[in-house]
Amino acid sequence: MKKYLIPIIILSIAGAGIFIRYIIVSPARALARDLEAINGLTVGQTTEADLLRRSAFQTLDRSCFGADCQYHVVRTNSFLSRLHLAPYTFFGTVVWVRDGMVTNVFVYVGQYGLKPLSLAQTMKMPADCASNPCVKQPTLPKLAGISILFNNESELRNRMPEAAQSACLSRLRGCTTYDELVPLSRGLNLEATAH
């Protein structure tokens, strides 16, 4: 009996290690697939039929409010944050469809200690945006986060896999700055904007 006990213990420890590694890396891998799924979508041009040709959207829940529908998914590092090995972090993607046409594409990020941040592809830029992309602060800074807006002509719509650092969801101690969380924000000085 004793000669079987040691191999059983070793196999149990190895199996637990593999399972824990899977739990840690699976949200990051899922986020990478989500970002790839929204890559290249063009608001005002991509139809819902085009959207549904992408396998990722065939399995997502669709919720509708009148003529507006959304495809939405959120990924979190809940395992690492519960163990206090990283701050709670979430990334989400949302694609809004109205009357069969994609109208908005969002990537949003939230992390304990930082204001929420969103990247949004819109059909029309706000009048007070002089650049594309444009950084917008909310009018009530304590209630909302920072938005990076760009239109359907921006090359950012083809760079969604680079938009968010999916590895932040599986990294011990997480990512601590906007530049780490959202590499496309580099050069936009979001740290100063957030204060």
DSSP letters, 43-99, are: TTT-BHHHHHTSHHHHHS-EEEETTEEEEEEEEE-HHHHHTTSS--EEEEEEEEEET
Cα separation, 69 vs 62, in Å, equals 7
Average pLDDT over the chain, rounded to an integer: 85
Q: Where are the domains of the chain?
A: 2-193
* Residue 4 predicted with pLDDT over 70: yes
Chain segment 99-145, per-residue pLDDT in tens: 999 999 999 999 888 888 888 998 888 888 877 788 877 655 455 68
Chain segment 67-87, per-residue pLDDT in tens: 899 999 999 999 999 999 999
- How many other CB atoms are found less than 10 A from the CB of residue 56? 17
* Residue 195 predicted with pLDDT over 60: no
Bigger pLDDT: 11 or 171?
171
